[in-house]
Amino acid sequence: MAMNPYPERPDRLRPTNVLPQRERRERRERMEDLPPRTAPPQPAVAPVDTIAEVESVERQEEARTVRYAIGKLNDFLQWFLVVMEVTLVIRFFFLLIGAQQSNLFAGFLYAFTDIILFPFQGIVNPLRIREGQAFDWSTLIAMLIYWLIFWAVRRFLSILISTPEEATS
């Protein structure tokens, strides 16, 4: 082995886990003299008395899983409603200020929200302010109706997962 030109650098040191043959033999002999180690005591597990208790625990776990899934669905519906309402508000203001459909973003927004507003088209004629500007009543009506529908569905889902004693918000 070559001499270490940099003895103070730790990455150049000789590994400490390499022992000469005699030291390994002495260490092994000392280890053989030690008494064997016993396993630590395991905590006592309460015995299950009946199959009914096992089924009860399984039903509780299943109920928690269903409750969690319904809660996540409720969160998703809230997120979806917020995104839909925001896009409808943006459409309403774009129509109010007269944003041109020839613009890429405005045209995409109009096309996307036309799908959402299809059931409400023609319910009330838009109020024309100036050339290209309009106060679109059908967008406001759609926003209100969609909000009411989503509120009712979310309320129903929260009632499904709450106990009668819990207050639902």
Whether 12 has a pLDDT exceeding 70, the answer reads: no
Decide if 85 is inside a domain: yes
Element (H, E) at 61: helix 51-97
Of 1-15, 71-85, 139-153, minimum mean pLDDT range? 1-15
pLDDT at 108: 94
> Which domain range does residue 73 map to?
58-161
Decide if 95 is inside a domain: yes
Decide if 63 is inside a domain: yes
Total number of domains constituting the chain: 1
